Structure 1
Amino acid sequence: MRIKIIYIAVLLLLVSLHPMVAYAQLPEGTGDRYIRVAEIGELADSVNVWGDVGSSGRYIVPERTTLPELISFSFGYTQLRGNDANINWAKTQIEVKVSRYNENRKRVDVALFRYRYHDPEPVEMFEFDLQNNDVVSVQVRRRPAFTDYVGVVAPVIGVVATSFLLIENLRGN
């Protein structure tokens, strides 16, 4: 009888420590990428940050947070993906899009801010009022450099040249 009680207690302990049980105890909709910036008890909004930022996710931010502050909370713009370590930021364009349902939830309203990396952020970004459940998408774009074109054309030329040499070799020439 005593062994049964110990067995049940150990089993309950193991089940309660299982990660799925702990995950089930979180509020609905929370997960690994729920980031709290606002202090507990402070009026806050939940805003989604997606795209080319250092840490995308759902942020709980203080009310009246500006777009530049939100981008800073998400660790700023990421470096462009690719093999080029020395990016020419002068040719880089930043695009910040904010999407939200309108009051009657029939359509999505979009605010778009575009500027070059070396230009100052548009004043409208500082004046834009973020609201609960806004979706902020950030995209970093740049003009293709010469190495980008070479990276596309060189493999094609290599395949054509290899195919030609293979055909000539099979012919016996």
Structure 2
Amino acid sequence: MQNLISYAALVVVLFIAIPAQAQLPETLSDRYIRVAEMGELVDSVNVWGDVNSSGRYLVPEGTNLPDLISFSFGYGQVRGGGGQSNVDWTKTQVEIKVSRFNENRRVVEVAYFRYLYHDPEPVEMWEFDLQNNDIVTVRVRNKPSLTDYVGVLAPVLSVITTTLILWDRFRE
């Protein structure tokens, strides 16, 4: 009987306690996105900003910027003011910044790539090879239009005008 109770306790520990405890701590590998095949030489690159899937990517050595942006599922949605859904892509600008720490000189070297969304990607983006521990920041933004300025100024002018009218009425 004693052996049966010991066996039952062991089964409870193996099937309940150990798997539950193994699921609780988050391992470091859960935060990496592996693109490279197993056994392939890789670079670990951070992707931040306006992409659809930011994170730390394990990419094959020699990966260029357009490939990395593809791995992160492309540029994120352009955030227009007030739930704007009709984006004027001719005024949309893409900015990509690559930061790389130079250990010998102890400085951060930065490469910038800027272009309008409807223009082709700069040739330099295709020729730029990413290296281990690079930080790639992507920013997609719209240049403000006249309606954007009116949307900001109209409420301010409305409050000022209403205040002046009320002040004038209370003075009488």
Q: Which runs of 5+ in 1 are unaligned?
A: none
Cα offset, 1:120, TM superposition: 1.2
Q: What residue number does 2:29 align with?
A: 30
- Opposite residue 119 of structure 2, the aligned amino acid is D
Cα offset, 1:146, TM superposition: 2.8
2:77 to 76, 79, 83: 79
Equivalent pairs: percent with the same residue?
58
Distance 1:159 1:40, change over 3 A: same
Cα offset, 1:31, TM superposition: 3.3
- How many residues were matched structurally? 168
Q: What residue number does 1:48 align with?
A: 46
* Residue correspondence of structure 1 range 56-67 to structure 2 within 5 A: 56-67=54-65
Give the Cα separation in 2 of the matches to 1:163 and 1:3.
82
Q: What residue number does 1:150 align with?
A: 150
Distance 1:4 1:164, change over 3 A: farther
Q: What residue number does 1:126 align with?
A: 126
Summarize deviations over 1:104-141 as a string: whole Å, max 9, x none: 26111111111111111111111111101100001112
Q: Is the 8 A contact 2:79 2:141 kept in 1?
A: no
Q: Which runs of 5+ in 2 are unaligned?
A: none
Q: Calculate the TM-score normalised by the size of structure 2.
A: 0.81
Distance 1:5 1:152, change over 3 A: farther
1:14 to 9, 13, 16: 16
Cα offset, 1:30, TM superposition: 3.1
Q: Is the 8 A contact 2:97 2:110 kept in 1?
A: yes
Give the Cα separation in 1 of the matches to 2:59 and 2:70.
12
Larger helix share, 1 or 2: 2
Give the Cα separation in 2 of the matches to 1:75 and 1:168.
58
Aligned-pair RMSD on alpha carbons? 2.8
Give the Cα separation in 2 of the matches to 1:164 and 1:44.
65
Q: What residue number does 2:117 align with?
A: 117
Distance 1:8 1:59, change over 3 A: same
Cα offset, 1:155, TM superposition: 3.3
- Opposite residue 120 of structure 2, the aligned amino acid is P
Give the Cα separation in 1 of the matches to 2:15 and 2:154.
60
Give the Cα separation in 1 of the matches to 2:105 and 2:49.
24
Summarize deviations over 1:26-74 as a string: whole Å, max 9, x none: 3xx3334x21111111111111100011110011111111100100111
